[in-house]
Structure 1
Amino acid sequence: MKKILCLTLLGASILGANELESKCNNGDLIACDFLGLQYYDNQNYIKAKDLWTKACNSGDALGCYSLGILYKNGYGVKQDYSKAREFYTKACNSGNFEGCLYSGLLYNEGQGVKKNHSKAREFYTKACDGGNAVGCFYLGILYLNGQGVKQNYFKAKDAWIKACDGGDVSSCYNLGLLYVKGQGVKQDYLKAKDFFTKACEDGSSLGCFNLGALYGNGEGVRQDKKIAKEYFGKACDLGNQDGCDEYRKLNEQGY
Structure 2
Amino acid sequence: MAFDLKKEEDVKEFLDNLGIEYRFGCFSEKRPDSCHLLGDYLEGVKKDFEKASKVFRSNCDESHYGRSCYKFANYSFLGKGLKQNMDEAYSYYLKGCSAGDSDSCLNGGLMCVSNTPTNIQRRKDYEKGLELLEKACSGNNAFSCYYISGMFIQGIKDHIEKDMQKAFDYSLKACNLGNMYACANVSQMFRKGDGTAKDEERSDEYKKKALDMQEEFKQQAQIEFQQGTPQT
TM band (smaller chain): 0.7 to 0.9
Cα deviation, 1:220-253, whole Å, max 9, x if unaligned, reads 2233444323222211111179xxxxxxxxxxxx
Equivalent in the alignment of 2:106: 137
SS in structure 2 at match of 1:44:
helix
Equivalent in the alignment of 1:198: 173
1:127 pairs, out of 96, 118, 130, with: 96
User: Is the Cα–Cα contact under 8 Å of residues 196 and 207 in structure 1 kept in the other structure?
Assistant: yes
Pair member with larger Rg: 1
Equivalent in the alignment of 1:68: 39
Q: Distance in 1 between matches of 2:34 and 2:58?
A: 10
Letter in 1 for 2:41: L
Q: Distance in 1 between matches of 2:20 and 2:107?
A: 32
Cα deviation, 1:34-78, whole Å, max 9, x if unaligned, reads xxxxxxxxx92211211221232234322221111011112xxx3
More contact order relative to length (CA 8 Å, sep ≥ 6): 2
Letter in 2 for 1:61: P
Structure 1 unaligned regions, length at least 5: 1-42, 242-255
Letter in 2 for 1:210: N
Count of equivalent residues: 196
Assess, with a 3 A threshold, how the Cα gap between structure 1 residues 211 and 240 changes in structure 2: closer, same or farther. Answer: farther
Give the % identical residues. 26
Root-mean-square deviation over aligned CA pairs: 2.0
Structure 2 unaligned regions, length at least 5: 1-12, 217-232
Equivalent in the alignment of 1:215: 190
Cα deviation, 1:191-228, whole Å, max 9, x if unaligned, reads 11111111111111011011122223332223344432
Equivalent in the alignment of 2:220: none
Question: Is structure 2 residue 57 aligned with structure 1 residue 84?
Answer: no
Letter in 1 for 2:69: C
Q: Distance in 2 between matches of 1:236 and 1:118?
A: 40
Equivalent in the alignment of 2:207: 232
Equivalent in the alignment of 2:160: 185
SS in structure 2 at match of 1:223:
coil
Q: Distance in 2 between matches of 1:165 and 1:221?
A: 21
SS in structure 2 at match of 1:137:
helix
User: Is the Cα–Cα contact under 8 Å of residues 160 and 172 in structure 1 kept in the other structure?
Assistant: yes
- TM-score where L is the length of structure 2: 0.78
Cα deviation, 1:107-127, whole Å, max 9, x if unaligned, reads 222221233222110110000
Letter in 1 for 2:39: G
- TM-score where L is the length of structure 1: 0.71
State the 1:136 CA deviation. 0.2
Equivalent in the alignment of 2:77: 108
